A = this chain, B = another copy of it.
Amino acid sequence: MIDSIKALTFDVFGTVVDWRSSLIEEGERLTKRLGYKVSWEEFADKWRAGYGPAMQRVRQGDIAWTNIDNLHRTILDELIIEFGLTSMTEKEVSNLNKVWHRLKPWNDAVEGLTRLKKRFTVATLSNGNISLLENMARFANLPWDQIFSAEIFGHYKPDAETYLGAVALLELEPAEVMMVAAHPSDLEAAAENGLRTGYVSRPLEWGSEATPDQISEHDFDIVSSDFHDLATKLGA
């Protein structure tokens, strides 16, 4: 199986970068500067929790195509009222919304990707928009060969158009591409479309008190503990 794989496509939020800690740190800087007393953990979790339903509205056709920056902004505008941050200027709000462009990678991500890139094409396959992913790659030194985004396909994951769109642009067969993600639902959708699946455990994605997914070794083609382990199991 491994010998036939030519490219790896990566989920990004949660799989490559630690969005939660990054958001909390950004919030703590706001607290220092502007004096807000806010549970930034709760703020981060609510912001992220609004993301799935927002994409779902696009996927169902309830609203026209809207990229993630704009979906994030809609959710943020509500949180600003809920958390009493209304004294922020438009410039500050806009900058806070772009925290998603400045997320920190998990400790193993850059080195692991660099190892994997020697053997495989490494690409994003993320719901994040192109400019977000590109700014993040520059900020975090992520060595992508290619940035694929839902924005190119006009469909959000887990729509088939995203997985099959990336496979087509790579001019590969689905079985030559492995989707890598920390989220079973993403991998299950990839598998339904014929892609290989590589699970990476990110038990701290939702903080140290969250209950990690229960994954068996047989659920996916590869089950790994981080990008180093993934590289080793893929012979890279």
Which of B129, B146, B151 has a CB less than 8 Å from the CB of A147?
A: B146
CB–CB B152/A145 < 8 A? no
Shortest A167–chain B CB gap in Å is 11
A137: CB under 8 A from chain B?
A: yes
A17-40 residues with Cβ-Cβ distance < 8 A to B are none
A229: CB under 8 A from chain B?
A: no
A114: CB under 8 A from chain B?
A: no
CB–CB B169/A130 < 8 A? yes
A58: CB under 8 A from chain B?
A: no
Shortest A175–chain B CB gap in Å is 17
Chain B residues, CB < 8 A from A131: 169-172
CB–CB B130/A170 < 8 A? yes
Chain B residues, CB < 8 A from A130: 146, 169-170
A193: CB under 8 A from chain B?
A: no
- C-alpha gap A145/B170 in the complex (Å): 17
Chain A interface: which size bin?
10 to 19
Q: How many copies does the complex hold?
A: 2
Chain B residues, CB < 8 A from A134: 121, 145-146, 170
Shortest A12–chain B CB gap in Å is 15
- C-alpha gap A138/B118 in the complex (Å): 9
A45: CB under 8 A from chain B?
A: no
A69: CB under 8 A from chain B?
A: yes
- C-alpha gap A196/B236 in the complex (Å): 42
Chain B residues, CB < 8 A from A152: 152, 169
Chain B residues, CB < 8 A from A129: 169, 171
- C-alpha gap A129/B168 in the complex (Å): 11
Digitize A151-174: 1 where CB-to-B-CB distance is under 8 Å, 0 elsewhere. Answer: 110000000000000000111100
Chain B residues, CB < 8 A from A172: 131
- C-alpha gap A134/B129 in the complex (Å): 19
- C-alpha gap A69/B168 in the complex (Å): 13
Residues on A facing B (Cβ under 8 Å): 69, 121, 129-131, 134, 137-138, 145-147, 151-152, 169-172
Ranked nearest first, the 4 interchain pairs of A and B with the lowest CB-CB distance are A131-B171, A130-B169, A134-B146, A131-B170
6 more CB-based (< 8 A) A-B contacts, given A134-B170, A146-B147, A147-B147? A121-B134, A121-B138, A131-B170, A134-B146, A137-B145, A152-B169
